[in-house]
Amino acid sequence: MSFPLPLRPRAIVAAVAATVCTALPAHAQVLTSTPAVEEKPPAKAETAPEKIQKVEIKGSSTAYDPRRDDTASKIVVSSEEILRYGDTSVSDVLKRLPGITVGGGGRGGNDIRMRGLGSGYTQILLNGERAPAGFSIDTLAPDSIERIEIVRAASAEFSTQSIAGTINIVLKKAVKTAQRELKIGTGESADASNPFANLQLSDKLGSLSYSLSANAWRYRYDRETPTEETRTSADGRLVEVQRSRQHDRGSPEGASLNLRLNWTLADGDTITWQTYGNTQHNDYLGAQAIETPVGTPPRYTERTLQEDARNTFGRSDLNWVGKFANGAKLDVKLGTHWMRSRGLWEEQDYRFATLWRDADIYSSTRERGVSTQGKYSTPLVPGHALSMGWDAGTTWREDARVERDAALPGTPPDNADEGYQASVRRLALYAQDEWDLTPRWSMYVGVRWEGIDTTSEGSTFDTVRTRTSVWSPLAQTLYKLPDSRDQLRLALTRTYKAPAANNLIPRRFTSTNNSQTEPDRRGNPDLQPELATGIDASYEHYWAENALLSAAVSMRRISGYTRQGLFLDANGRWVSAPVNDGSAVTRSVELEAKLPLSAVMKEAPGIDLRASVSRNWSRVEAVPGPDNRLGQQTPLSATLGIDYKTRDGKLTTGASFAFRTGGPVRIDTNQTGYQLVRRDLDVYALWKFSPQYQLRVAVSNALGQDYYYDNAYRDASGVRRRAGTYAGYPQGRATLEMRF
């Protein structure tokens, strides 16, 4: 079965790529800069009263850099860097950053990793808070983001559910100047189309400032995915081959709004109200056909699928910052969030063109929550930056699933009404201090306690209640070597990975053609957190303005390691569930370099070079080797980038290459997988026609690499393997940016 989807010609991809590549060597013509002429101040009129304006000029070489100057270091990615390639998803932004890899294919289906670890090891925060379950950062418009903070070693201020590290996405807050900007554009590839628009408004009205960001997009795709499943006997004979082709067509669309109001009171206090919301609608059609040239056909050989789903998410925060006479400051925030999702899934399953199952599945999810955060900072001890705070919240979630099967000859309907409710209560308390031992040596210490209480009940399982709590002592130190631009860092951390709420609920999700490679899935109410003790050390050399060489090493020892177990239940069905299974250890080495050409050449063109390499090793004690890596860790990743800007600033262009290795990975004694070796080349160019108009063009996945997966189950009877390919095509994007 196929679905025709009219798409624009692929020529746009080739045209954009050619344009950008042509622009890259444009630096061959070097313009001569005119030296600045020092102006003498005008003579002062003797009769006029003297007005002195105190101006502090801080050279960029000594400007504050959180990565260089903070004891608890973090890498800050600015809005300019975020928007450079004209990306429409945050995942595409992150894949170019040092030490971060992004796996998966398709909007909202990406796994973001630090130190090669995802799946809960890397913490994603939105404005310093964990996003609700089911929220995808790819629903955020990059234009609405002020900065991205990358925190490799945990600090007490943020949740310590960050064994690999933390990525904090901060939405736009500060209003520096009035802004009115409209962006309209489209992305095109051989199998997808993605028009989008974004509006940015901000201004100051006396003591009130406001900012508004609105975004709308639509993503249309039409693609086919081939899959092959084979079964080999213990003596190596091929006993079964099943080949399927799945045709998917969809048109998800969405819109988001981010509003921020900021009042500065007469006494210097500030009150801020920020509200973010997005809505999505997904319309999907699918068809699958399975042929079996060798062996026994599956229960169903053909399938048609249709889905109509809607999702709405919102968050609102009220923040007050009060300053006191003794220099102390209190920052208090109250927030609420809500989420609503509902959908209709229609599935018809056939066996050799005879309809055996006709099911309509209605699902709905409703989630709401309240939270409060606070931080009190005080100069109680001279020379110390002492602060303490709290983070508390409660979330309520309700899920319902209703299945209605048509009454067909020989097939009794399997109607079901399922529902469950869950509540999650959390509380965190922390204290931290930072001070200078000497002018070159600073110290940070902190401690954080986090407790989580989860209760769930449903129509198909008994009430389940779990309580976990973790103490996290933390320490970091920074030493700047004398008479040099070199510095050393050391961090000791205690972090953890809490089980996701849905992994604690013993609710089963069934697979149509159940097997070792397509099992049913359910949660495990006895699941415990993974605990990790870690050490990080790094050397940094800031040898020129915006120039950097750094080397970092880290290690984590993990207890209570969680993996996906697989077992055969009493009814003869394969079931996958998370289980705690022993310990694991992971080690990493990261190298990074930044080189503006002006640092080594006078009158150099405006070219900036950057590169990074990350090598990761890990071992799960309970899983036999080789390839028994933790969390299917990415062994090696690297990025290489170049940016060029003309002297007049009218043209900016560049390219970025990201590489990651993969290969076979051992999940447990019987299960293995394969990680894709990935090469991503992205190029961009920005033309500034005037202060009001500019055009940004880009090509992502210029090499057109596909996504591939391969999973296998081995036991005494033989091997069952399932492999498939998702086609990947270059995508060209063009964005017209207008200021008014």
Mean pLDDT of 69-77: 88
Helix, strand, or coil here: 160? coil
Give the chain's end-to-end CA distance (angstroms, integer): 49
Locate 419 and state its tokens.
Answer: 């529902």
**Strand 329-351 versus strand 520-521 pairing type:** unpaired
Q: Report the top-level CATH class of 11-25+66-280+294-409+421-739.
A: mainly beta
Mean pLDDT of 66-78: 88
Strand ranges (DSSP E) for 459-498? 461-480, 486-497
pLDDT tens for 97-139 read 998 998 754 444 578 999 999 878 999 998 888 877 667 788 7
Higher-pLDDT residue of 29 and 318 is: 318
Residue 591 identity (one-letter amino acid): L
Residue 616 has pLDDT above 90, yes or no: yes
Please state, rounded to an integer, the average pLDDT across all residues of the chain.
87
Residue 700 has pLDDT above 60, yes or no: yes
Burial 346-367 (b: 16+ CB within 10 A, else e): ebbbbeeeeebbbbebebebeb
Mean pLDDT of 200-210: 91
HEC assignment per residue over 261-299: EEEECCCCCEEEEEEEEEEEEEEEEEEEEEEEEECCCCC
CA distance linking residue 731 with residue 723, whole number of Å: 25
Q: What's the DSSP call for residue 137? A: G
Higher-pLDDT residue of 320 and 416 is: 320
Residue 42 has pLDDT above 50, yes or no: no
Closest CA to 126 of 156, 86, 155, 90: 90
Mean pLDDT of 26-46: 37
CA distance linking residue 119 with residue 528, whole number of Å: 16
What pLDDT is stored for residue 134 in this prediction? 65
CB half-sphere exposure, 429, CA atoms < 13 A: 1
pLDDT tens for 549-582 read 999 999 999 999 998 888 899 889 999 999 998 8
The distance between the two most distant Cα atoms of the chain, rounded to a whole number of Å, is 107
Using 50, 70 and 90 to split pLDDT, how confident is the model at 702?
Answer: very high
How would DSSP label each residue in 280-347? EEEEEEEEEEEEEEES---S-SEEEEEEEEEEEEEEEEEEEEEE-TTS-EEEEEEEEEEEEEEEEEEE
Using 50, 70 and 90 to split pLDDT, how confident is the model at 88?
Answer: confident
Helix, strand, or coil here: 460? coil
Mean pLDDT of 379-392: 91
For the chain, the structural domain boundaries read: 11-25+66-280+294-409+421-739
What pLDDT is stored for residue 434 in this prediction? 94
Using 50, 70 and 90 to split pLDDT, how confident is the model at 518?
Answer: confident
Strand ranges (DSSP E) for 352-440? 354-378, 386-405, 416-438
pLDDT tens for 303-355 read 999 999 999 999 999 999 999 988 899 999 999 999 999 999 999 999 999 99
Residue 539 burial (10 A CB sphere; 0-12, 13-18, 19+): middle
Higher-pLDDT residue of 121 and 63 is: 121
State percent of the chain over pLDDT 70.
90
What pLDDT is stored for residue 631 in this prediction? 82
Instruction: Say how many C-beta atoms besides its own lie within 10 A of residue 552's C-beta.
Output: 20
Residue 306 burial (10 A CB sphere; 0-12, 13-18, 19+): middle
What pLDDT is stored for residue 415 in this prediction? 86
What pLDDT is stored for residue 6 in this prediction? 39
User: How long, in residues, is the chain?
Assistant: 740
CA 249 distance to own-chain centroid: 25
pLDDT tens for 169-184 read 998 876 667 889 999 9
Closest CA to 24 of 686, 716, 658: 686
Mean pLDDT of 144-163: 93
What pLDDT is stored for residue 133 in this prediction? 67
pTM of the predicted protein model: 0.83
State percent of the chain over pLDDT 90.
65
CA distance linking residue 97 with residue 166, whole number of Å: 13
Helices then strands, counting H and E runs in the chain, come out as 5, 38
Residue 725 has pLDDT above 80, yes or no: yes
Locate 615 and state its tokens.
Answer: 């090598």
What pLDDT is stored for residue 156 in this prediction? 96
Q: Which are the contacts of 419, defined by CB distance < 8 A and separation ≥ 6? A: 398, 399, 400, 401, 458, 459
What pLDDT is stored for residue 174 in this prediction? 64
**In which residue are the tokens 């042929």 written?**
291
Torsion of CA 482, 488, 490, 496, to 10 degrees: 140
Closest CA to 1 of 354, 304, 355, 349: 304
Beta bridge partners of 697: 685, 734
Q: What's the DSSP call for residue 411? A: B
For residues 275 and 316, the answer to whether their CB atoms sit within 8 Å is yes
Residue 192 has pLDDT above 90, yes or no: yes
The Cα-based distances of 123 to 66, 237, 388, 465 in angstroms read: 20, 45, 22, 24
pLDDT tens for 213-228 read 999 999 999 999 999 9
Mean pLDDT of 482-493: 94
Helix, strand, or coil here: 675? strand
Residue 38 has pLDDT above 50, yes or no: no
How would DSSP label each residue in 38-102? PPPPPPPPTTSPP---------GGGS--HHHH-SS--EEEEHHHHHTT--SSHHHHHTTSTTEEE
Residue 285 has pLDDT above 90, yes or no: yes
What pLDDT is stored for residue 62 in this prediction? 56
Residue 707 burial (10 A CB sphere; 0-12, 13-18, 19+): middle
Cis peptide before 626 (omega within 30 of 0): yes
For residues 282 and 309, the answer to whether their CB atoms sit within 8 Å is yes
Q: What's the DSSP call for residue 511? A: -
Locate 360 and state its tokens.
Answer: 């309509």
Mean pLDDT of 627-656: 93
What pLDDT is stored for residue 507 in this prediction? 81
What pLDDT is stored for residue 661 in this prediction? 92
